[in-house]
Amino acid sequence: MRTRLLPLPRSAEYQTGSVSWASPLRVAVTDDLRGAVTTFALDLKTAVGWDVAFVDAGTGGDLEIALDPALGPEESRVVVDDVTVVTAGSPAGASYALTVLRQLGAVELWSPTRSTLERCEIARVVIDDGPAFPWRGVHLDVARHFFDVASVCRLIDLLAAHRLNTLHLHLNDDQGWRVEIPGWPRLTDVGAWRRSSPVGHEDAAMDDNTPHGGYFTADDLVHLREHAARRFVRIVPENVAAVALELSFIVPVNDVEPSAFFVNVAFWLGSPGVPIPWMKKSVGEGGTVTGQEGMTTPADRKSKEPAKTSARPENP
């Protein structure tokens, strides 16, 4: 009984026979890895309605998971037996190992909606795995075509399923401004929308005459960051620092310091509590940008902003 794994692990030595899993799946795990198992449990509940019961090690559980300091940060070892043992170098490594176990099981374990599965057979195998590259990413351009939070979260899930760890998110460009910035509402009222999109080659000069747009609120960005963190995916925002060159910024706002937006987005998408080395300004309570002499905000500057227009202007 062999299962095709994607991506291929470093090594997989299949043994004779299989083990049977059913609900409730009994799992022994140390506290430092419980978060990864909780996400795994939610996936099983969503897919097949299975429960995960936390038990003490050595009490006849189905699965035991522990850290092994001899392994690298994203490395893991999986030994599928009567009691399956997972050792990992970090919570991320444990999460990847649990993903491998889902791949070894029935296809229903990956159902995005509730399926019925009484039990599944897992091939007896010893797998040693770890990434060949530390940066394993996917690029998503939400500036030119907007995707909502649910779609981006689904993409994050698929990244994690393939043991990819970076989502490169293209947030702003001429075709749309996708980030809410408190104090500058016209960036999203105007800059997040366009009246139509080009069709075919640019030389044809054809449009679909269909309004398109959308943006992420501050709460949306926090939600994306937290969802990605549960999947051990980092989000790297792009085109936040060079906004002054973009039409989606130039048209709605003519008197703002674009560097302020870079700090806000870095704050919302960056890891909680982890300083970002290239940030030269600080972010205060509620996302307020502070520090650095000479920086201006709407509160300390006379705005030259034109009269407010509708959210979908005819000619932004």
**Radius of gyration, alpha carbons of the chain:** 24
Asked whether residue 120 falls in the same domain as residue 148, the answer is no
Asked if pLDDT for residue 12 goes beyond 70, the answer is: yes
Q: Which of 88-97, 177-186, 205-214, 223-232 has the lowest mean pLDDT?
A: 177-186
DSSP SS3 for 138: strand
Asked whether residue 152 falls in the same domain as residue 257, the answer is yes
Asked whether residue 119 falls in the same domain as residue 141, the answer is no
Residue 6: inside a domain, yes or no? no
Asked whether residue 115 falls in the same domain as residue 148, the answer is no
Assess contact for 168 and 288: CB atoms under 8 A: no
Asked whether residue 238 falls in the same domain as residue 116, the answer is no
In the prediction, which pLDDT does 265 show?
Answer: 52
Asked if pLDDT for residue 277 goes beyond 80, the answer is: no
Q: Provide the whole-model pTM.
A: 0.78
| Strands 11-22 vs 119-129: parallel, antiparallel or unpaired | antiparallel
Total structural domains in the chain? 2
Cis peptide before 24 (omega within 30 of 0): yes
pLDDT bracket for residue 183 (50, 70, 90): confident
pLDDT bracket for residue 177 (50, 70, 90): confident
Cis peptide before 185 (omega within 30 of 0): no
DSSP SS3 for 315: coil
Per-residue pLDDT of 236-248, as tens digits, reads 987 654 444 444 4
Q: Which domain holds residue 120?
A: 11-129
